[in-house]
Amino acid sequence: MIEFNRVKKVYPNGTVALEDISFEVGDGEFVFIVGASGAGKSTMAKLLLREEKVTSGHLTVGQMHLDNMPDRVVPYYRRKIGMVFQDFRLFPNKTVYENVAFAMQCIGEPKKNIRRRVPSLLEVVGLEDKLKSFPDELSGGEQQRVALARAIANNPDMIIADEPTGNIDPQKSMEIMNLLVKINSVHKKTVLVVTHEKTLVDYFKKRVITISDGRVVGDHRGGMYG
């Protein structure tokens, strides 16, 4: 599914964010990517989204080679990825329903399909009774659940969650993480969670890839943080 092959990323200002990164993630895997802030975790997410290009080495997702992907293909590639951010990034002037529907509208999904699918997506994240609420009427945890529903709206192959619990209180964090595990196991999506929350990582006993100073320093299945 995902293959990092001797990937190096140097930013234009000379900062070396990632150095000689090699690992593979198989279809349907659940992986935590952990490390201190500044270790290069977010750069990894940016490379996977093709927001940044690798400086050298190869990055392959599915059949797609991200290192020489033409710009016009990028939107179609991104439809295969559901992205979840620390700051939710919901449209504040759209309701919960509209936020999820918009993701489908963006890629030209017919209205009929949108009307049918959005309620079931919101059911998956347990927000079926908040259709008409606006993001600022919801708690952080609820907002992140809307973002999760949006991330899976277009039936992506993979979910990338960049610090998804960073702005949420601890007991709600567990709910979000449970949802991600559910999306992984029930909906068969590959899930990558970038985080530095030790308790959560230790609790779920999934594969953990540890990054430090731009290098992979640990890769353990059923592993623990650090």
Partner 1 sequence: MRSYSITYFIAEALKGLWRNGVMSLASIAVLVSCLIVLGAFSSLVANINYNLDEIGAVNQIVAFIDPDTSDEDILALRDSIAAMDNVSAVRYISREEAYQSEKEKYSEYPELFAKLEGDNPYTASLVITFADIDRLVNLEQALGEEESIYKVSKRTDIAATIESFKQTVILIATWFMILLLVVSVFVIINTIKLAVFSRRQEISIMRYIGATSGFIMVPFIIEGVIIGLLSGGAAYGIIRAAYGYAARSVSEQLSFLSVMPFDSIGWYLLGAFLGIGLLCGVVGSLISMRRYLDA
Q: Given the rule CB under 8 A, which residues bind partner 1?
A: 49-50, 71-72, 74-79, 81, 83, 89, 91, 102-103, 105-111, 150, 154
Report the candidate in 146, 141, 104 with the shortest Cα–Cα distance to residue 125.
146
Asked whether the beta carbons of 209 and 33 are under 8 A apart, the reply is yes
**Choice between 72 and 186, CB closer to partner 1:** 72
User: Minimum distance from CB of 69 to partner 1 (Å)?
Assistant: 9
User: Minimum distance from CB of 204 to partner 1 (Å)?
Assistant: 25
User: Minimum distance from CB of 89 to partner 1 (Å)?
Assistant: 5
Asked whether the beta carbons of 211 and 40 are under 8 A apart, the reply is yes
**Choice between 103 and 211, CB closer to partner 1:** 103
**Choice between 110 and 170, CB closer to partner 1:** 110
**Choice between 6 and 53, CB closer to partner 1:** 53
**Choice between 11 and 76, CB closer to partner 1:** 76
**Choice between 94 and 215, CB closer to partner 1:** 94
Angle, in degrees to the nearest 10, between helices 140-151 and 170-185: 20
The two beta strands, 16-25 and 64-65, are unpaired
**CA end-to-end distance (rounded Å), the chain:** 25
Asked whether the beta carbons of 219 and 209 are under 8 A apart, the reply is yes
User: Minimum distance from CB of 105 to partner 1 (Å)?
Assistant: 7
Asked whether the beta carbons of 161 and 81 are under 8 A apart, the reply is no
User: Minimum distance from CB of 98 to partner 1 (Å)?
Assistant: 11
**Choice between 9 and 150, CB closer to partner 1:** 150
How far apart CA 192 and CA 101 sit, in angstroms, is: 24
How far apart CA 25 and CA 5 sit, in angstroms, is: 12
**105: Cβ contacts below 8 Å, ≥ 6 apart:** 114
User: Minimum distance from CB of 102 to partner 1 (Å)?
Assistant: 8
CA 216 to mean position of chain CA atoms: 19
* Residue 202 structure tokens: 């230790």
